[in-house]
Structure 1
Amino acid sequence: MKRWTKVMVGVATIALATAGCAGSGGNESSGEQQSDGPRTLTVWLMNGSAPETLTDSLHKEFEQSHDGVTVKYEVQEWNGIQDKLTTALASQDPPDVIELGNTQAPSFADEGVLTDLSRDVDSLSGDQWLDSLKASGEWDGKQYSTPFYAANRMVVYRTDMFQQAGITAPPTSREEWLTAIGKLKTKFGADKQFQPLYLPGQNWYALLSFIYDEGGDIARQTGVEFTATLDSPEAKAGLEFYKELVDASGTTAPKDNDEQNPEQAGIYGQGKVAMMIALPWEVDTAAADNADIKAKTGAFPIPSKNAGETAPVFQGGSNLAIPVNSKNADLAKEYLKLMLSSKYQAQFAEAGMVPGASTDLSALDANPVSKAMAEASKKGKSVPATPKWATIEAGQNPLKDMLTAYLTGAKDLDTATADANKALDAAIGD
């Protein structure tokens, strides 16, 4: 899962080679359907996605219910997957089912190499789909991929430090959050290494929550066109609150880097940090060097400016798709139907992930961190579903530049947002 978080929410540029690419805009599978004799369904899922117990059980059930069918299951590594998928999808013999990062899906759909699943949504548990992953699988009014699983950030915190600082309950508003930071500074501030909140300057995923909470977004969609909105009053308000958190906490995190540089989980694991905005498995990373910290860690959803509410969150995750040249698209749809059934989606929840096609998140309640993630996930959102988004995360991300410029004082609020808006428009607009 650590591999997923580092790559899935930071997808590299996808440049599909369209020359020689079969298919007609991804409307229907163009490969010949095999019907007689033994058949092999090739499935590519990514390393760290589905628990082995789940895939073993699913593949056994699928083969038993489909005479003469063998599932050829191949686990892929994220490193190099862009080129590997580009080559496979341009061929006449691609895998039959593939896993895609939710920020990758629009690019592949736009290239016409995925099967249109619009008519299959109902049979694939569509009424249970996560809205954020459903949106990432849509392009030009059609559905090209289904949700698989998701995860989102929440505030991870030291329960023992909260107790010692007299904080009796997790914050349920921005105001309470800032008050908690003040109490933690009062209690532990004599230690110069202490940080009530570790918040690096370029954690733009956290910034998205604050912008969403203000009622804004980073881009507006009209049909298949996108217009940046980083200079809106709502986006500016979200950026201002980010700075308020940084200033209030006095965090020593770098203002010119993100949560992976240095790895914030390692900083939290040193025992001098009371809170971080994190993904659930970062607690395990922290515990690798400090086993005791896991028992002292709780979590709560990122608070809203509205008391008693949670802020919307960016929801990263994976989608499932069928290549347009699959020769077994009929079987592939049956495979997706089984994977997205309540039986197997429940197993994703038991493994600590938000299932992409289930509204039953009760299994996540067993762990306080995954429970907080599940609560926050109800307001999950995705980044703009444009094929050009991958270039933002792989290249010079205007949101990161904006954060650093504003937090360091290199630019004022209006200049930082105007410059970032112009850069984002150039990247995702025509």
Structure 2
Amino acid sequence: MKPSRTLFILVVVFALTMLNACLPAPGAGLQEGVAPAGEKVKLTVLTHWGEESLLKPMRAKLDEYTSLNPHVEIDYQTVTFDQLLTKITTARAAGISPDVYHFYNLWMPDFVEGGMLDEPPSDVLADIQANYSPGSQSAVSYGGKIWGYPTELNTYQLLYNKKMLQEAGIEAPPATFAELKDAACKLAIANPDGTLARSGFVLMPGWDSGVVHPFLSLLWSNGGEYLAPETYQPLFNGPQGQATLQLYVDLIGEKCADPSIGAFGNFVEGKGAMLIMANWLRATLKDAFVDGYENVGVAPIPTGEGGVSTTLQYNWLYGVDSGSKNKEEAWKLVQWLNSPAGEGAASPIGDYLTSALGAIPSRISDQQALADRLSDEFMTAYVRSAANARAEPVLRGGQEIKTALQQGIEAAWYGQKTVEQALNDAAAEAERILAENR
């Protein structure tokens, strides 16, 4: 999403929120967030899990809940990830907000400042504080308050095609920037016209997380910084940031990578040999990886000179809309989804994440109850990487800063700007966004 478009949406949301504050609340005269006695309660839940393989298992969980609570009816709505933020903000502006959102934690500051989120009840807060790691609690907190249930946590690692590396005579996955470049150039295959039939290293242009998250993982592994602690001043345009982006530019210039054919599907289909990607791709790899799931290798993020392998972690959470007329029932549903189904059992969300999605659940008891699902080579590597993970900073304007960095990186990829100019321009835009949100 373009920064100007995001800002426009948030301005609309803010204006309508102020207008709504002057109008009677829905169901005025009733206890807030409680439906009249004997009335059927309809809850609308919005997520981005819309693919058929993800839709059926979640609907089964929700059907289980309504069978246990026959007074509740659930309308489960899904959109693609790139449409989720727009759907949430425009629906609220139109006065037709879902009761429950599943959303990316980077959006939380704008949602909180816009008055969109309901504060969790005391029993929900107590459960989160007792059963989630400090990191997961921090990931769903803003302004000193927890705003929802942490669900999946995701980190990034280097994925590689074991078969391709073996055929190229590469004995081990690359552990450094220099090794990454060398391996990518050995693995790339060119067509007669000079285009790539196979990328040595897959790029993912056009998708903010696909561009920025791998870059930040490499930047941190090169001893660099994204934003300064507390002040959030941009630091990604420093020497380490320029060296990290130069690695990409060198790969493209030497025909070892090509953004014009970039997408994680190229790795799945055998059109790319290596990729820095999050663990949620596991379900797709198990079903569709060209050389079989057993040939998917996972390695730590390669390091720059003197760096320590570090990965980025981001989280998702369930929250409830502050304007819902059924907030009490909405929180009951969210709590049920994220609570153990029985003594020593996983929560419905934990079961869903590790089966349908192949993701790592945030709840500690889920990680324990589902240890067998998290113990294959792929998942073990990602679980281990959490020890060297750094959380994506959650701040007002964070999405816009991320978009500015994405645009700068892509400008360098396509030769529209030098590495230095691309990062300096992105940093200047980040400064503007910070000043605007201060």
* Corresponding residue number in structure 2 for 1:274: 273
Calculate percent identity across the aligned residue pairs. 18
Rate the CA distance shift 1:93–1:186 in 2: closer, same or farther, 3 A: closer
> Are 1:52 and 2:56 counterparts?
yes
Mapping 1:287-366, distance limit 5 Å? 291-292=290-291, 294-304=293-303, 310-315=309-314, 317-341=315-339, 342-347=346-351, 348-351=353-356, 352-358=358-364, 359-360=367-368, 362-365=371-374
More moved, 192-201 vs 42-51: 192-201
Rate the CA distance shift 1:300–1:238 in 2: closer, same or farther, 3 A: same
* Corresponding residue number in structure 2 for 1:69: 71
Q: How far apart are the structure 1 equivalents of 2:187 and 2:64?
A: 56
> Are 1:206 and 2:214 counterparts?
yes
Rate the CA distance shift 1:205–1:76 in 2: closer, same or farther, 3 A: same
* Corresponding residue number in structure 2 for 1:4: none
Q: Secondary structure at the match of 1:178?
A: helix
Report how far residue 382 of structure 1 moved: 4.2
More moved, 402-411 vs 341-350: 402-411
Rate the CA distance shift 1:81–1:118 in 2: closer, same or farther, 3 A: same
Report how far residue 106 of structure 1 moved: 2.0
Report how far residue 114 of structure 1 moved: 0.9
Question: Which residue of the other structure, out of 166, 182, 203, is the alignment partner of 1:163?
Answer: 166
Mapping 1:10-409, distance limit 5 Å? 14-15=9-10, 16=13, 17-22=16-21, 31-34=32-35, 36-48=37-49, 52-61=56-65, 63-64=67-68, 66=69, 69-78=71-80, 81-82=84-85, 84-86=87-89, 88-89=91-92, 94-117=97-120, 119-120=122-123, 122-129=125-132, 134-171=137-174, 173-174=175-176, 178-179=178-179, 182=182, 185=185, 193=196, 195-199=199-203, 203-214=211-222, 216-220=224-228, 222=230, 226-232=232-238, 236-244=239-247, 247=250, 250-254=254-258, 262-268=261-267, 271=270, 273-280=272-279, 291-292=290-291, 294-304=293-303, 310-315=309-314, 317-341=315-339, 342-347=346-351, 348-351=353-356, 352-358=358-364, 359-360=367-368, 362-365=371-374, 368-392=377-401, 397-402=404-409, 404-405=411-412, 408=415
Q: How far apart are the structure 1 equivalents of 2:66 and 2:33?
A: 22
Q: Are 1:212 and 1:312, in contact at CA under 8 Å, matched by a contact in 2? A: yes
- Deviation track 1:81-122 (CA, whole Å, cap 9, x = no partner) reads 545433554577743322223222221111012112384554
Report how far residue 155 of structure 1 moved: 1.6
Q: How far apart are the structure 2 equivalents of 1:362 and 1:20?
A: 49
Unaligned runs of 5+ in 1: 1-6
Q: How far apart are the structure 2 equivalents of 1:263 and 1:185?
A: 16
Rate the CA distance shift 1:57–1:412 in 2: closer, same or farther, 3 A: closer
Rate the CA distance shift 1:209–1:166 in 2: closer, same or farther, 3 A: same
- Deviation track 1:316-372 (CA, whole Å, cap 9, x = no partner) reads x53211111223322222222222224224311233012233444634546544443
- Deviation track 1:257-284 (CA, whole Å, cap 9, x = no partner) reads 5xxx534334435645321223456577
Number of corresponding residues: 398
Q: Secondary structure at the match of 1:98?
A: strand
TM-score (norm 2): 0.73
Q: Are 2:158 and 2:276, in contact at CA under 8 Å, matched by a contact in 1? A: yes
- Deviation track 1:384-404 (CA, whole Å, cap 9, x = no partner) reads 32232333456xx23431564
* Corresponding residue number in structure 2 for 1:3: none
Rate the CA distance shift 1:143–1:311 in 2: closer, same or farther, 3 A: same
More moved, 349-358 vs 71-80: 71-80
Q: Secondary structure at the match of 1:124?
A: helix
Q: How far apart are the structure 2 equivalents of 1:387 and 1:30?
A: 33
- Deviation track 1:199-230 (CA, whole Å, cap 9, x = no partner) reads 468822211112333555422354xx643233
Q: Are 1:182 and 1:248, in contact at CA under 8 Å, matched by a contact in 2? A: no
Q: Secondary structure at the match of 1:219?
A: coil
Q: How far apart are the structure 2 equivalents of 1:180 and 1:231?
A: 22
Q: Secondary structure at the match of 1:125?
A: helix
Report how far residue 70 of structure 1 moved: 1.1
Unaligned runs of 5+ in 2: 24-29, 340-345
Rate the CA distance shift 1:337–1:427 in 2: closer, same or farther, 3 A: same
Rate the CA distance shift 1:303–1:62 in 2: closer, same or farther, 3 A: farther
Rate the CA distance shift 1:95–1:365 in 2: closer, same or farther, 3 A: closer
Greater relative CO, 1 or 2 (CA 8 Å, sep 6+) = 1
Rate the CA distance shift 1:88–1:308 in 2: closer, same or farther, 3 A: closer
Q: Secondary structure at the match of 1:325?
A: coil
- The structure in which a higher percent of residues are helix is 2
Q: Secondary structure at the match of 1:228?
A: coil
